Amino acid sequence: MVKLSIIVVNVKGKENLPRLISSLNRSTYKDFELIVVDDSNSISGNLKLVNITKDLGLAYCRNKGVEASSGKFLLFLDNDTELTEDTLEKFIGFIEKNTDSIAQLKLIRDDGRIDAAGGVIDELGYPFELFKGEDLKEIDEIDHNILYAKGAAIGMSREIFSELNGFDNEYFYGYDETDLCYRAIKKGKRIVYLSSATVFHHEHGSFSKFTKEREKRLVYYLESRRLYFIFKNFDSSFLIPRIHKIFYFRKYTYRHYI
């Protein structure tokens, strides 16, 4: 059994995977296995391929990856990410000492600014990513508690993942990591932004870059999953006084969420 299993969903943006694999090969930490969930059989190399016949969403694919893994710890990465040489070492060093925690690794955009340092949600279930777009030099680089970790770089022990019964397959796109983290907090776990573990996120994404089409698809997926998240996780005493706002007030356009 290896210590760390890295799970990557490679259904969209397949051209990005070689760059991620190259960065993993340069890692100073070697005790890991790479699990790639893919809808084709065209990938080969030093990895374990999990072939799916139909794309049922990120949550489903990540769960399938975990089923095929053997590591004591799990790290989920998007295929358009790239790791520095010491990222895995920093993650393992933290998670071994904080087994009751879920870690958000520091995501950096191509322009060198923060992509994600963890997030919070408001009372209507809308997410807000902390420090997104800010210059690294202008924020304090310290670990801090957050409400949810972005799925592009999120890690935890297998024990916590099993205790939570993994990701909820009802989340096709969006909110799967928010839901997992929120359920973890209710069980007394910590969600922590790990500032020392750096991951570059090139964010090519699976949606069209044409603004109108992109916005329509985001609203369809994310608004429906927001409502599912709220009614799944909040009780009636919280929901009833806010029900009109939950259905009729749209605070964000979700540009910050992805």
pLDDT at 65: 97
Nearest C-alpha neighbor of 73 from the set 11, 10, 157: 157
Place of tokens 């009636």: 236
Residues 197-236 pLDDT 10s: 999 998 755 544 555 655 666 666 677 778 777 878 777 7
| Predicted local distance difference test score (pLDDT) of residue 24 | 97
C-beta atoms surrounding 236 within 10 Å: 9
DSSP code at position 24: H
| CATH number corresponding to 4-201 | 3.90.550.10
Alpha carbon distance 25, 28 (integer Å): 9
Q: Is 161 within 8 Å of 66 (Cβ atoms)? A: yes
Contact 20/81 with Cβ under 8 angstroms?
yes
pLDDT averaged per 10 residues in sequence order, the chain, 258 residues: 92 89 96 94 84 91 97 97 97 97 94 87 80 76 87 96 96 88 96 94 61 61 75 74 64 46
CA dihedral 165, 169, 56, 78 (to 10 degrees): -70
For residue range 25-48, list pLDDT tens digits in order: 999 999 999 999 998 877 777 899
> Could you state, in order of their start, the residue ranges of all structural domains in the chain?
4-201
- Strands 73-78 and 153-157 come out as antiparallel
Q: Find the Cα–Cα–Cα–Cα dihedral 114, 115, 121, 127, rounded to 10°.
A: 140
Using left for φ > 0, alpha for ψ between -120 and 50, and beta otherwise, residue 4 falls in beta
